[in-house]
Protein backbone atom coordinates (compact mmCIF):
# COMPACT_ATOMS: atom_id res chain seq x y z
CA UNK A 1 0.00 0.00 0.00
CA UNK A 2 1.56 3.34 -0.99
CA UNK A 3 2.22 5.85 1.74
CA UNK A 4 0.58 8.61 -0.28
CA UNK A 5 -2.70 9.55 1.37
CA UNK A 6 -5.12 11.21 -1.03
CA UNK A 7 -4.39 13.98 -3.56
CA UNK A 8 -2.64 16.31 -1.11
CA UNK A 9 -0.03 17.48 -3.59
CA UNK A 10 -2.17 17.64 -6.72
CA UNK A 11 -3.50 21.20 -6.55
CA UNK A 12 -1.24 24.13 -5.75
CA UNK A 13 -0.42 27.61 -7.00
CA UNK A 14 2.68 29.69 -7.68
CA UNK A 15 2.43 32.90 -5.64
CA UNK A 16 0.25 33.84 -2.69
CA UNK A 17 -1.93 36.44 -4.41
CA UNK A 18 -4.38 34.04 -6.04
CA UNK A 19 -3.58 35.54 -9.45
CA UNK A 20 -2.35 34.10 -12.72
CA UNK A 21 -0.88 37.41 -13.86
CA UNK A 22 2.82 37.63 -14.67
CA UNK A 23 5.08 38.04 -11.65
CA UNK A 24 7.46 40.95 -12.06
CA UNK A 25 11.11 40.03 -11.58
CA UNK A 26 13.76 42.70 -11.02
CA UNK A 27 16.63 42.74 -13.48
CA UNK A 28 19.06 42.03 -10.67
CA UNK A 29 18.69 40.32 -7.33
CA UNK A 30 16.77 37.32 -6.08
CA UNK A 31 12.98 37.19 -5.90
CA UNK A 32 11.36 34.76 -3.47
CA UNK A 33 8.04 33.49 -4.85
CA UNK A 34 5.88 31.51 -2.39
CA UNK A 35 4.19 28.29 -3.36
CA UNK A 36 0.62 27.96 -2.11
CA UNK A 37 0.28 24.28 -1.29
CA UNK A 38 -3.07 22.65 -0.49
CA UNK A 39 -4.67 22.75 2.92
CA UNK A 40 -3.79 19.50 4.67
CA UNK A 41 -0.56 19.00 2.70
CA UNK A 42 1.50 16.38 4.53
CA UNK A 43 5.21 15.67 4.53
CA UNK A 44 4.56 12.14 3.27
CA UNK A 45 2.61 13.48 0.29
CA UNK A 46 5.67 14.23 -1.82
CA UNK A 47 9.14 12.99 -2.66
CA UNK A 48 10.44 15.93 -4.72
CA UNK A 49 9.64 19.45 -5.95
CA UNK A 50 11.22 20.53 -9.20
CA UNK A 51 11.28 24.07 -10.60
CA UNK A 52 12.18 25.27 -14.05
CA UNK A 53 12.36 28.62 -15.75
CA UNK A 54 11.50 28.25 -19.43
CA UNK A 55 12.15 30.85 -22.10
CA UNK A 56 12.25 30.81 -25.89
CA UNK A 57 15.84 29.54 -25.78
CA UNK A 58 15.16 26.36 -23.88
CA UNK A 59 14.07 24.69 -20.66
CA UNK A 60 15.90 23.96 -17.43
CA UNK A 61 16.95 25.35 -14.10
CA UNK A 62 19.35 27.60 -15.95
CA UNK A 63 18.01 29.20 -19.12
CA UNK A 64 19.81 31.52 -21.46
CA UNK A 65 17.29 34.08 -22.74
CA UNK A 66 17.21 35.78 -26.08
CA UNK A 67 18.40 39.09 -24.63
CA UNK A 68 20.77 37.91 -21.90
CA UNK A 69 24.20 36.28 -21.93
CA UNK A 70 23.80 35.02 -18.37
CA UNK A 71 21.09 32.53 -17.34
CA UNK A 72 18.02 32.72 -15.20
CA UNK A 73 18.40 30.62 -12.06
CA UNK A 74 15.84 29.05 -9.74
CA UNK A 75 16.14 27.28 -6.40
CA UNK A 76 13.49 25.25 -4.57
CA UNK A 77 13.12 25.98 -0.86
CA UNK A 78 11.51 22.82 0.46
CA UNK A 79 8.54 22.86 2.83
CA UNK A 80 8.99 22.19 6.53
CA UNK A 81 6.59 20.48 8.89
CA UNK A 82 5.84 20.59 12.59
CA UNK A 83 5.47 17.13 14.15
CA UNK A 84 5.46 15.69 10.63
CA UNK A 85 1.80 16.44 9.94
CA UNK A 86 1.53 20.25 10.12
CA UNK A 87 2.81 22.08 7.04
CA UNK A 88 4.40 25.42 8.02
CA UNK A 89 3.43 27.26 4.83
CA UNK A 90 7.02 28.06 3.84
CA UNK A 91 7.59 26.29 0.51
CA UNK A 92 8.91 28.67 -2.14
CA UNK A 93 11.15 29.04 -5.14
CA UNK A 94 13.81 31.73 -5.43
CA UNK A 95 14.22 33.17 -8.92
CA UNK A 96 17.15 35.31 -10.04
CA UNK A 97 16.91 37.10 -13.39
CA UNK A 98 20.03 37.75 -15.52
CA UNK A 99 21.83 41.04 -14.99
CA UNK A 100 21.53 42.02 -18.65
CA UNK A 101 17.97 40.93 -19.32
CA UNK A 102 15.82 43.25 -21.43
CA UNK A 103 12.93 45.15 -19.90
CA UNK A 104 9.66 43.36 -20.58
CA UNK A 105 11.24 39.99 -21.39
CA UNK A 106 9.02 37.03 -20.58
CA UNK A 107 10.00 33.64 -19.17
CA UNK A 108 7.92 30.77 -17.81
CA UNK A 109 8.32 29.43 -14.28
CA UNK A 110 7.20 25.82 -14.02
CA UNK A 111 7.08 23.93 -10.72
CA UNK A 112 6.49 20.18 -10.50
CA UNK A 113 5.63 18.24 -7.36
CA UNK A 114 6.33 14.52 -7.48
CA UNK A 115 4.15 12.52 -5.12
CA UNK A 116 5.41 9.45 -3.33
CA UNK A 117 2.94 7.43 -5.40
CA UNK A 118 4.93 8.35 -8.51
CA UNK A 119 2.36 10.85 -9.74
CA UNK A 120 3.21 14.42 -10.64
CA UNK A 121 1.37 17.71 -10.80
CA UNK A 122 2.62 20.89 -12.42
CA UNK A 123 1.88 24.60 -11.94
CA UNK A 124 3.27 27.30 -14.17
CA UNK A 125 3.26 31.07 -14.21
CA UNK A 126 4.78 33.74 -16.42
CA UNK A 127 7.67 35.92 -15.25
CA UNK A 128 8.11 39.41 -16.69
CA UNK A 129 11.26 41.47 -16.25
CA UNK A 130 10.78 45.11 -15.24
CA UNK A 131 13.46 47.73 -14.77
CA UNK A 132 12.88 50.49 -12.17
CA UNK A 133 16.20 51.85 -13.39
CA UNK A 134 14.40 53.32 -16.40
CA UNK A 135 12.67 55.87 -14.13
CA UNK A 136 15.99 56.61 -12.42
CA UNK A 137 17.57 57.03 -15.85
CA UNK A 138 14.83 59.47 -16.82
CA UNK A 139 15.51 61.47 -13.65
CA UNK A 140 19.24 61.57 -14.40
CA UNK A 141 18.69 62.72 -17.98
CA UNK A 142 16.18 65.45 -17.07
CA UNK A 143 18.19 66.69 -14.09
CA UNK A 144 21.29 67.00 -16.28
CA UNK A 145 19.46 69.30 -18.66
CA UNK A 146 17.91 67.03 -21.31
CA UNK A 147 14.72 68.71 -22.52
CA UNK A 148 11.94 66.12 -22.82
CA UNK A 149 9.43 68.49 -24.46
CA UNK A 150 7.57 66.63 -27.21
CA UNK A 151 8.69 63.23 -25.93
CA UNK A 152 6.18 60.64 -24.72
CA UNK A 153 6.61 58.03 -22.01
CA UNK A 154 4.16 55.24 -21.19
CA UNK A 155 4.50 53.03 -18.11
CA UNK A 156 4.00 49.44 -19.20
CA UNK A 157 4.03 47.68 -15.81
CA UNK A 158 3.89 48.38 -12.09
CA UNK A 159 7.29 49.52 -10.82
CA UNK A 160 8.85 49.23 -7.35
CA UNK A 161 11.45 51.78 -6.23
CA UNK A 162 12.55 49.65 -3.26
CA UNK A 163 16.10 49.64 -4.61
CA UNK A 164 16.29 53.43 -4.02
CA UNK A 165 16.47 54.39 -0.35
CA UNK A 166 16.48 58.10 -1.27
CA UNK A 167 14.70 58.73 -4.55
CA UNK A 168 16.01 61.60 -6.68
CA UNK A 169 12.99 63.32 -8.23
CA UNK A 170 12.47 63.66 -11.98
CA UNK A 171 13.03 67.34 -12.74
CA UNK A 172 14.24 70.37 -10.80
CA UNK A 173 13.27 74.04 -10.93
CA UNK A 174 16.30 74.70 -13.12
CA UNK A 175 15.73 71.62 -15.29
CA UNK A 176 12.01 70.72 -15.05
CA UNK A 177 10.28 67.79 -16.70
CA UNK A 178 8.53 69.02 -19.86
CA UNK A 179 7.63 65.69 -21.43
CA UNK A 180 4.44 63.64 -21.44
CA UNK A 181 4.24 60.80 -18.91
CA UNK A 182 1.28 58.41 -19.04
CA UNK A 183 1.24 55.96 -16.15
CA UNK A 184 -1.44 53.94 -17.96
CA UNK A 185 -3.19 53.27 -14.65
CA UNK A 186 -0.11 51.55 -13.20
CA UNK A 187 1.49 52.04 -9.78
CA UNK A 188 4.92 53.23 -8.72
CA UNK A 189 5.43 51.81 -5.23
CA UNK A 190 8.03 52.02 -2.46
CA UNK A 191 8.88 55.68 -3.00
CA UNK A 192 11.29 56.70 -0.22
CA UNK A 193 12.73 60.18 0.38
CA UNK A 194 14.56 61.13 3.59
CA UNK A 195 17.83 62.93 2.82
CA UNK A 196 19.32 61.48 5.96
CA UNK A 197 16.37 62.47 8.12
CA UNK A 198 17.43 66.10 7.90
CA UNK A 199 21.20 65.66 8.16
CA UNK A 200 21.54 66.65 4.51
CA UNK A 201 18.82 69.32 4.59
CA UNK A 202 21.05 72.01 3.13
CA UNK A 203 21.68 69.79 0.07
CA UNK A 204 18.06 68.79 -0.36
CA UNK A 205 16.45 69.82 -3.68
CA UNK A 206 13.68 72.42 -3.46
CA UNK A 207 11.14 70.02 -4.99
CA UNK A 208 10.56 66.50 -3.65
CA UNK A 209 8.34 63.75 -5.07
CA UNK A 210 8.38 61.16 -7.83
CA UNK A 211 8.51 64.20 -10.12
CA UNK A 212 10.28 67.22 -8.69
CA UNK A 213 9.18 70.03 -10.98
CA UNK A 214 6.81 69.91 -13.95
CA UNK A 215 6.79 72.90 -16.31
CA UNK A 216 4.73 72.60 -19.48
CA UNK A 217 4.58 68.81 -19.43
CA UNK A 218 1.91 66.21 -18.73
CA UNK A 219 1.68 63.64 -15.91
CA UNK A 220 -1.44 61.48 -15.85
CA UNK A 221 -2.96 58.11 -14.97
CA UNK A 222 -0.53 57.12 -12.23
CA UNK A 223 -0.61 56.00 -8.60
CA UNK A 224 2.32 56.52 -6.25
CA UNK A 225 2.78 54.75 -2.91
CA UNK A 226 5.51 55.41 -0.40
CA UNK A 227 7.04 57.41 2.42
CA UNK A 228 8.59 60.87 2.53
CA UNK A 229 10.51 61.73 5.66
CA UNK A 230 11.38 62.43 8.23
CA UNK A 231 12.84 65.47 6.47
CA UNK A 232 13.95 68.76 7.97
CA UNK A 233 13.49 71.96 6.03
CA UNK A 234 16.08 74.75 6.13
CA UNK A 235 14.75 76.65 3.11
CA UNK A 236 11.65 76.97 0.92
CA UNK A 237 10.41 73.52 -0.11
CA UNK A 238 7.70 71.88 -2.23
CA UNK A 239 6.80 68.30 -1.30
CA UNK A 240 4.23 65.90 -2.79
CA UNK A 241 4.26 62.17 -3.48
CA UNK A 242 3.59 62.54 -7.22
CA UNK A 243 4.80 66.10 -7.97
CA UNK A 244 6.67 68.50 -5.73
CA UNK A 245 6.04 71.61 -7.84
CA UNK A 246 3.53 71.89 -10.69
CA UNK A 247 4.80 75.10 -12.24
CA UNK A 248 2.69 74.68 -15.37
CA UNK A 249 1.37 71.82 -17.43
CA UNK A 250 -1.41 69.25 -17.31
CA UNK A 251 -2.06 66.77 -14.53
CA UNK A 252 -4.97 64.34 -14.32
CA UNK A 253 -6.04 61.07 -12.73
CA UNK A 254 -3.18 60.84 -10.25
CA UNK A 255 -3.41 59.14 -6.87
CA UNK A 256 -1.09 59.03 -3.90
CA UNK A 257 -0.96 56.75 -0.87
CA UNK A 258 1.74 58.36 1.23
CA UNK A 259 3.07 59.11 4.68
CA UNK A 260 4.89 62.46 4.98
CA UNK A 261 6.77 63.51 8.11
CA UNK A 262 8.68 66.76 8.61
CA UNK A 263 10.88 67.33 11.62
CA UNK A 264 11.14 70.68 13.39
CA UNK A 265 12.76 73.28 11.17
CA UNK A 266 14.63 76.10 12.89
CA UNK A 267 16.66 77.71 10.13
CA UNK A 268 13.85 79.27 8.11
CA UNK A 269 13.63 82.94 7.24
CA UNK A 270 10.33 84.81 7.40
CA UNK A 271 10.18 84.72 3.60
CA UNK A 272 10.68 80.94 3.35
CA UNK A 273 7.61 78.97 2.28
CA UNK A 274 7.03 75.25 2.92
CA UNK A 275 4.33 73.59 0.82
CA UNK A 276 3.41 69.97 1.57
CA UNK A 277 0.60 68.00 -0.09
CA UNK A 278 -0.31 64.34 -0.28
CA UNK A 279 -0.17 64.27 -4.08
CA UNK A 280 1.20 67.71 -5.11
CA UNK A 281 3.15 70.11 -2.95
CA UNK A 282 2.71 73.32 -4.91
CA UNK A 283 0.55 74.05 -7.92
CA UNK A 284 0.70 77.39 -9.71
CA UNK A 285 -2.29 78.11 -11.95
CA UNK A 286 -2.64 74.97 -14.06
CA UNK A 287 -5.40 72.57 -15.10
CA UNK A 288 -6.04 70.12 -12.28
CA UNK A 289 -8.44 67.17 -12.26
CA UNK A 290 -8.79 63.93 -10.35
CA UNK A 291 -6.05 64.57 -7.80
CA UNK A 292 -6.48 62.23 -4.86
CA UNK A 293 -4.55 61.12 -1.81
CA UNK A 294 -5.81 57.89 -0.27
CA UNK A 295 -5.63 57.91 3.53
CA UNK A 296 -2.48 60.01 3.71
CA UNK A 297 -0.75 60.82 6.99
CA UNK A 298 1.01 64.16 7.09
CA UNK A 299 2.92 65.22 10.21
CA UNK A 300 4.06 68.82 9.81
CA UNK A 301 6.46 70.28 12.34
CA UNK A 302 7.93 73.76 12.13
CA UNK A 303 9.78 75.86 14.71
CA UNK A 304 10.52 79.48 13.98
CA UNK A 305 9.52 81.79 11.17
CA UNK A 306 8.30 81.14 7.65
CA UNK A 307 5.04 80.29 5.94
CA UNK A 308 3.55 76.80 5.87
CA UNK A 309 0.95 75.33 3.51
CA UNK A 310 -0.25 71.78 4.19
CA UNK A 311 -2.94 69.96 2.22
CA UNK A 312 -4.57 66.54 2.07
CA UNK A 313 -4.17 66.40 -1.72
CA UNK A 314 -2.45 69.66 -2.73
CA UNK A 315 -0.41 71.74 -0.31
CA UNK A 316 -0.67 75.07 -2.10
CA UNK A 317 -2.55 76.30 -5.13
CA UNK A 318 -4.19 79.50 -6.28
CA UNK A 319 -7.44 80.45 -4.51
CA UNK A 320 -9.63 79.91 -7.56
CA UNK A 321 -8.53 76.31 -7.73
CA UNK A 322 -9.40 75.71 -4.09
CA UNK A 323 -12.83 77.23 -4.72
CA UNK A 324 -13.53 75.55 -8.05
CA UNK A 325 -11.95 72.17 -7.26
CA UNK A 326 -13.16 71.11 -3.82
CA UNK A 327 -11.58 67.68 -4.34
CA UNK A 328 -8.17 69.33 -3.85
CA UNK A 329 -8.52 69.65 -0.11
CA UNK A 330 -10.49 68.91 3.02
CA UNK A 331 -11.41 70.98 6.04
CA UNK A 332 -8.88 72.76 8.21
CA UNK A 333 -9.38 70.12 10.92
CA UNK A 334 -8.45 67.30 8.52
CA UNK A 335 -7.61 64.25 10.72
CA UNK A 336 -5.00 63.15 8.20
CA UNK A 337 -2.86 66.17 9.10
CA UNK A 338 -1.14 66.75 12.43
CA UNK A 339 0.66 70.01 13.17
CA UNK A 340 3.42 70.90 15.60
CA UNK A 341 3.92 74.66 15.52
CA UNK A 342 6.33 76.67 17.64
CA UNK A 343 7.97 80.05 17.64
CA UNK A 344 7.10 82.90 15.33
CA UNK A 345 5.66 81.15 12.31
CA UNK A 346 4.26 83.97 10.22
CA UNK A 347 1.38 82.09 8.57
CA UNK A 348 0.01 78.57 8.47
CA UNK A 349 -2.61 77.24 6.06
CA UNK A 350 -4.28 73.82 6.15
CA UNK A 351 -6.21 72.81 3.05
CA UNK A 352 -6.25 76.44 1.94
CA UNK A 353 -7.62 77.80 5.21
CA UNK A 354 -5.44 80.14 7.26
CA UNK A 355 -4.93 78.99 10.84
CA UNK A 356 -4.47 81.57 13.54
What does the pLDDT read at residue 339?
76
Distances (CA, A) of 117 to 3, 121, 159, 277: 7, 12, 43, 61
* Confidence (pLDDT) at 330: 59
Whether pLDDT at 100 is above 60? no
Rg (CA), the chain: 25
pLDDT for residue 298 is more than 60 = yes
In the prediction, which pLDDT does 271 show?
78
pLDDT of residue 149: 92
Confidence class for position 4, pLDDT limits 50, 70, 90? very low
Contacts of 356 (CB under 8 A, 6+ apart): none
Residue ranges of alpha helices (H) inside 132-283 are 133-143
The predicted pLDDT at position 26 comes to 64
CB distance 13 to 21 below 8 Å: no
* Torsion 325-331-334-340 (CA) sign: positive
> Of 11-15, 27-31, 159-163, 193-197, which range is least confident?
27-31
Tell me how far apart the alpha carbons of residues 287 and 276 are, in angstroms, rounded to a whole number: 19
Q: Which of 86, 91, 62 has its CA nearest to residue 76?
A: 91
- Tell me what the pLDDT averaged over the chain comes to: 77
Burial 69-94 (b: 16+ CB within 10 A, else e): eebbebebbebeeeeeeebeeebbbe
* Partners of residue 314 on adjacent β-strands: 280
Give the three-state DSSP class for 196. helix
| Percent of the chain residues topping a pLDDT of 90 | 21
Residue range 13-130, CATH number: 2.60.40.10
What stretches of 192-307 show up as alpha helix (H) in DSSP? none
Closest CA to 133 of 175, 101, 94, 172: 101
Domain residue ranges in the chain: 13-130, 133-355
Task: Choose from 46-55, 58-67, 330-339 the range with maximum mean pLDDT.
Answer: 330-339
Integer angstrom CA distances of residue 268 from 20, 213, 230: 52, 22, 17
The pLDDT tens digits of the residues spanning 208-221 come to: 999 999 999 999 99
Phi, psi of 201 (to 5 degrees): -60, -35
Q: What is the per-residue pLDDT for 49?
A: 65
Are 94 and 31 a contacting pair, CB within 8 Å? Answer: yes
Map residue 344 onto helix, strand or coil.
coil
Q: For the residues 213-233, what does the mean pLDDT come to?
A: 90
Q: What is the pLDDT of residues 112-137, one digit of tens each?
A: 887 777 677 888 887 766 667 788 88
- pLDDT score at 345: 57
Which comes out higher in pLDDT, residue 286 or 197? 286
The stretch 169-191 carries a mean pLDDT of 93
Over 80: is that where the pLDDT of 64 sits?
no
How confident is the model over 41-56, as pLDDT tens digits?
Answer: 777 665 556 677 655 5
Stretch among 21-30, 227-236, 243-252 having the lowest mean pLDDT: 21-30
Q: Considering only 39-43, 82-86, 233-237, which range has the smallest mean pLDDT? A: 39-43
Rounded Cα distance between 232 and 229, Å, is 8
Residue of 286, 218, 21, 4 whose CA lies nearest to 128: 21
Query: Span 320-348, mean pLDDT?
Result: 65
What local confidence, expressed as pLDDT, does residue 274 receive? 87
Amino acid sequence: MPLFNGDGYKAFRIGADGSNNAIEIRHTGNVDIPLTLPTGFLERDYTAIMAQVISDQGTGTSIVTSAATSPWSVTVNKPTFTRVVFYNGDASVTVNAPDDIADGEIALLKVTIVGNDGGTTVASRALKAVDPGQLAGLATAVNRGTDMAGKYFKQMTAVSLSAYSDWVAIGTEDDPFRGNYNGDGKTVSDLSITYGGGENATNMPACLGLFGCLDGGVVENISVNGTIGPVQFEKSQNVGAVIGYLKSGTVGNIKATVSITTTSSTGLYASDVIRVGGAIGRSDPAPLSDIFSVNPTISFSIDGTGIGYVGHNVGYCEYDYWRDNPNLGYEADDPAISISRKGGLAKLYINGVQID
